[in-house]
């Protein structure tokens, strides 16, 4: 084979590689730019804290009391099995349970960390979504990570944008969860 031909073939090979690499890079950029959730659920989380009296209605309880470090309840751990509804009314029929915990974790302001599972057991949805993240309470909206799922939410991942809609002292608060899944199977 003549050397000239070989050089041509090698050049052609590298040009081909270059085109393929640049195409895959631009495809990735495009898909990020146009990333839309493959599934979206707006749900409401109701936390009714046990105050020593409301045994019938409470769905969460303090398991570990706050420490004396700072004035923002640092160390207080609350475990919950809270109702999750499709609209913002506490008494509407729950579509899921939120089972998990949060604890206060900041010395200089109110801040918490949440980890919980949304357990779905209705005709519409069966399965779980696992959610965790920092609740930076001073911010209007916070983003929790949807780290996985089972059943109808098999291997799902995404973002849950959290807004506090109502807070009545320490006894009741309601969070709006705007759950956007970017991986659905
Ligand atoms: C439970 O909540 C219902 C509805 O808000 C209220 O009517 C009832 O008095 C509460 N019961 C207790 C034991 O707090
Ligand atoms: C929890 O700690 C706070 C602050 O130290 C205290 O006022 C409160 O009585 C404690 N609660 C319980 C149930 O021990
Ligand atoms: C789901 O609901 C069905 C029907 O109400 C019930 O039989 C079953 O025990 C529930 N499963 C769980 C895990 O709660």
Q: 48, exposed or middle or buried, with CB in 10 Å at 0-12, 13-18, 19+?
A: buried
- If you average pLDDT over residues 23-35, what whole number do you get? 57
DSSP letter for each residue of 36-96: --SEEEEEEEEEEB--SS-TTT--EEEEE---SSSSS-TT-EEEEEEEEESSS-TTSPPSE
- If you average pLDDT over residues 136-152, what whole number do you get? 96
Q: Give the span between the Cα atoms of 30 and 169, in whole angstroms.
A: 46
- If you average pLDDT over residues 25-53, what whole number do you get? 81
Most ligand 1 atoms within 8 A of CB, residue of 52, 56, 85, 89 to mutate:
56
The torsion angles phi and psi of 15, rounded to 5 degrees, stand at: -60, -40
pLDDT of residue 169: 86
Contact assessment for residue 99 and residue 120, using Cβ atoms and an 8 Å cutoff: no
Other C-beta atoms closer than 10 Å to the C-beta of 144 total: 22
Ligand nearest to the CA of 66: 2
CA 65 to ligand 2 center in whole angstroms: 6
pLDDT band with cut points at 50, 70 and 90 for residue 5:
low
Contact assessment for residue 90 and residue 46, using Cβ atoms and an 8 Å cutoff: yes
Is the pLDDT at 28 greater than 60? The verdict is no
Is the pLDDT at 154 greater than 70? The verdict is yes
pLDDT of residue 67: 97
pLDDT band with cut points at 50, 70 and 90 for residue 74:
very high
- Name the more confident of 117 and 34: 117
User: What's the whole-number average pLDDT of the chain?
Assistant: 90
CA 100 to ligand 1 center in whole angstroms: 23
Is the pLDDT at 47 greater than 80? The verdict is yes
Is the pLDDT at 10 greater than 70? The verdict is yes
Is the pLDDT at 29 greater than 60? The verdict is no
How confident is the model over 107-119, as pLDDT tens digits? 999 999 999 999 9
- If you average pLDDT over residues 154-183, what whole number do you get? 95
Q: Verify whether ligand 1 is closer than 6 Å to residue 57 (CB atom).
A: yes
Is the pLDDT at 120 greater than 80? The verdict is yes
Ligand nearest to the CA of 61: 2
- If you average pLDDT over residues 77-96, what whole number do you get? 97
Within 6 A (CB) of ligand 2 lie: 65-66, 68
């Amino acid at each position: 084979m003549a050397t000239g031909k070989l050089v041509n073939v090698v050049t052609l090979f590298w040009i081909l590689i270059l085109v393929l690499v640049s195409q895959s890079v631009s495809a990735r950029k495009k898909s990020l730019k146009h990333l839309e959730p493959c599934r979206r659920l707006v749900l409401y989380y109701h936390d009714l804290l046990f105050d020593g009296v409301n045994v019938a209605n409470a769905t969460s309880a303090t398991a570990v009391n706050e420490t004396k470090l700072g004035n923002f309840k640092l160390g207080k751990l609350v475990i919950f099995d809270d109702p999750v509804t499709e609209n913002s009314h506490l008494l509407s029929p729950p579509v899921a349970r939120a089972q998990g915990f949060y604890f206060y974790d900041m010395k200089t302001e109110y801040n918490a960390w949440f980890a919980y599972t949304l357990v779905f057991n209705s005709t519409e949805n069966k399965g779980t979504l696992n959610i965790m993240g920092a609740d930076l309470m001073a911010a209007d909206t916070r983003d929790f990570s949807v780290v996985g799922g089972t059943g109808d939410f098999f291997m799902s991942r995404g973002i849950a944008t959290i807004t506090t809609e109502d807070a009545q002292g320490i006894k009741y608060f309601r969070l709006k969860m705007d759950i956007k899944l970017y991986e659905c199977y």
